[in-house]
Amino acid sequence: MPHPVIDSPRKISLADFDPDDTGDMTKDEVQNEWLPQFKQSLGQLQELLYGAQQHSVVVVLQGMDTSGKDGTIRHVMSGVNPTGCYVWSFKVPTEEERIHDFLWRVHQRTPGRGTIAIFNRSHYEDVLVARVHNLVTREVWKQRYDQINDFERLLAQNNTLLLKFFLHISKDEQEERLLDREKDIEKSWKLAVGDWKEREYWDEYVKAYEDALSRCGTREAPWHIVPANKKWYRNYVVGQTILEQLEPLAKDWRKSLRQRGEQALAELRTFHEQHQQETKLPPARSKAGKNG
Ligand code: AMP
Ligand code: MG
- Averaged over successive runs of 10 residues, the pLDDT of the chain (292 residues) comes to 91 98 97 96 97 97 97 93 96 98 98 98 98 98 98 98 98 95 86 89 98 98 98 98 97 94 94 86 55 42
The alpha carbon of 35 and the centre of ligand 2 are apart by a number of angstroms equal to 27
Strands of the sheet containing 116-120, edge to edge, are: 5-6, 223-227, 160-168, 56-63, 116-120, 85-89
By the 8 A CB rule, do 232 and 31 touch? yes
- Among 70, 91, 108, which is best to mutate for testing ligand 1, by the most ligand atoms less than 8 A from CB? 91
The residues pairing with 63 across neighbouring beta strands, listed in sequence order, are 167
The whole-model pTM stands at 0.92
pLDDT at residue number 285 = 56
Q: How many other C-beta atoms are found inside a 10 Å radius of the C-beta of residue 11?
A: 9
The residues pairing with 57 across neighbouring beta strands, listed in sequence order, are 116, 161
The residues pairing with 164 across neighbouring beta strands, listed in sequence order, are 60, 223
Instruction: Give dist(CA 206, CA 141) in Å, integer.
Output: 16
- Among 99, 124, 125, 197, which is best to mutate for testing ligand 1, by the most ligand atoms less than 8 A from CB? 125
Backbone angles phi, psi at 17, to 5 degrees: -115, 130
By the 8 A CB rule, do 7 and 218 touch? yes
93 within ligand 1 shell (Cβ under 6 A): yes
Collapsed DSSP state (helix, strand, coil) of residue 274: helix
pLDDT at residue number 78 = 87
pLDDT at residue number 290 = 45
130 within ligand 1 shell (Cβ under 6 A): yes
